[in-house]
Structure 1
Amino acid sequence: MAMVKQGFRPARRAIDLANAVRSTPGISRDALAALLVEHGERPADVAPGAFGEADAAELREAVRRVTDEVLTETGTDAAAEALNRLLADCGARPRLSRHDGHAWHLHTDRGDDAGWGDWFLAGTALALAQLLTEHGRIAWGGCAASRCGTLFLGTGPGSPRRYCSPACASRERVAAHRRRVR
């Protein structure tokens, strides 16, 4: 019996790629490939012969588009409209897929021959749309800490998150306390 990989999370992949491209706009093909492998892509599928410089440029541009149009959007309605545009632009048609030891999951790209940008846009739009409908609100955001801005997923219970990490939240609380004391 084949072992099934767990944790296939395209929304987490989108956030990690977005943060990487934001921090290093010209991130290398090798660094993108390493991130893709961390998120379940087979090393052979992102080797230089299968994922070249043009593919990396296409993926970087797709990541920028998702970041600019969706991940930095703060309004739920505007985010939903942006996701609908992405899905329409990609000609997204859901299909079930099972490959490389993953359980059955949805793909929304144009098929196995889709380019890396199309693959990323369609898959990310579907994943973020699922999060939006599941939570009834945007379940991602940018850190509210004054010197941060890191994107994060806020899919846990309770109020929507404002900070990417407990460290950023603590720094902001301490700074606010110090301002009040002065």
Structure 2
Amino acid sequence: MSETSTKQGFQPARRLIDLVNAVRRSQDLPRAAMADLLARHGESAGDLTEREFSDSDADALRAAALRMADVLAETDTDKAAQALNVLLAEHCAPPYLSRHDGHPWHLHVDRGEKAGWDEWFLASSALALARILSEYGRVTWGECAAATCSAFYLGTGPGSARRYCSAACASRERVAAHRRRARERS
């Protein structure tokens, strides 16, 4: 397991959102699908073989993703901070800088080789959200407000706070609201 950097930089919060959404869509998400998702986020193929990332590792990672879903669902900044502090205390080791697999220096807080996939995911995800919360001073993530969607999003871009996971969901909701208003007027 390695925390890696991509061309856009290391993005553990994006990996968190993608994995949690995938597990919430399919709570029995196969190990191979999880491995593919992790590979798309820069984890090395050697770390994702069945020997290194077993079915029991996938089970533990699924449970960790669902635990992180609880944090992502929290809209109150103080409660989110408290939940993140609990995760940081339970799953993180002292921070250290690491450079491996051709990636630039980056921060690790996992317990290294002693950590399972679930511990690694909880530690790196909690750190990612804690960094975002401290940078923005508020929760910038959430669950899509569209009636037919429950995907989580990460709203760290410019502009006002996000309410939807995508432009498509926002547009569908605007059209639905417009049609409701039109029906109510007639």
TM-score interval (norm. to shorter): over 0.9
Cα RMSD (Å): 1.1
Supply the AA of the counterpart residue of 2:38: L
Decide which of 61, 73, 76 is 1:59's aligned counterpart: 61
Supply the AA of the counterpart residue of 1:177: H
Supply the AA of the counterpart residue of 1:51: F
> Offset of 1:113 from its aligned partner?
2.5
Which runs of structure 1 show a deviation greater than 6 angstroms over 4 or more consecutive aligned residues?
A: none
CA distance in 1, matches of 2:102, 2:77: 35
- Match of residue 38 from structure 1: 40
> Offset of 1:23 from its aligned partner?
0.1
- Match of residue 23 from structure 2: 21
- Match of residue 158 from structure 2: 157
Q: Deviations over 1:147-173 (max 9, x none)?
A: 001111100112110011111111111
- Match of residue 174 from structure 2: 173
CA contact (8 A) 1:5 1:101 kept: no
Q: Report percent identity of matched pairs.
A: 61
CA distance in 2, matches of 1:5, 1:174: 37
From the superposition, tell whether residues 134 and 109 of structure 1 become closer, same or farther in structure 2 (CA, over 3 Å). Answer: same
Alignment map for 1:1-182 (pairs within 5 Å): 5-6=6-7, 7-68=9-70, 70-182=71-183
From the superposition, tell whether residues 159 and 5 of structure 1 become closer, same or farther in structure 2 (CA, over 3 Å). Answer: closer
Q: Deviations over 1:75-106 (max 9, x none)?
A: 11100000000001114321111111211111
From the superposition, tell whether residues 173 and 57 of structure 1 become closer, same or farther in structure 2 (CA, over 3 Å). Answer: same
Q: Deviations over 1:4-52 (max 9, x none)?
A: 8433200000000000000000101100100110001001101111110
CA distance in 1, matches of 2:95, 2:67: 21
CA distance in 2, matches of 1:59, 1:82: 18
Alignment length (residue pairs): 178
Supply the AA of the counterpart residue of 1:32: M
CA distance in 2, matches of 1:87, 1:118: 10
CA contact (8 A) 1:8 1:102 kept: no
> Offset of 1:136 from its aligned partner?
1.0
CA distance in 1, matches of 2:169, 2:72: 19
CA contact (8 A) 1:5 1:103 kept: no
TM-score, length of structure 1 as denominator length = 0.95
